[in-house]
Amino acid sequence: MAVITRYVVEHKGVEKFVSTDKKAADQYDKMLDVADNLSEYIEGKGFKIEAKVLEELSIMLSK
């Protein structure tokens, strides 16, 4: 029997990324943190964007 360690990244209660590589999971988690900051910045500038579109945009930009 093998033991496999899996790293799961959750964002807002939703599983977004699963990996056996801790470094990759950490990088993805940091990317999501940057995306959250970008979303707040964009909203703070007064842009009216649908929540789903804003989330996708901020993730794309943070990548």
- pLDDT tens string 13-43: 889 999 999 999 999 999 999 999 999 999 9
Spatial separation of the C-alpha atoms in residues 39 and 49, rounded to whole Å = 10
Domain residues for the domain of 30 are 24-63
Considering the domain boundaries, does residue 15 fall inside one?
A: no
Considering the domain boundaries, does residue 10 fall inside one?
A: no
Considering the domain boundaries, does residue 19 fall inside one?
A: no
Considering the domain boundaries, does residue 1 fall inside one?
A: no
For residue 53, pLDDT over 90 is answered with: yes
The predicted pLDDT at position 1 comes to 82
Considering the domain boundaries, does residue 47 fall inside one?
A: yes
Residue with tokens 């993730």: 59
For residue 12, pLDDT over 90 is answered with: no
Considering the domain boundaries, does residue 40 fall inside one?
A: yes
The rounded percent of the chain whose pLDDT value lies above 70 is 100
Considering the domain boundaries, does residue 58 fall inside one?
A: yes
Instruction: Tell me how many domains the chain contains.
Output: 1
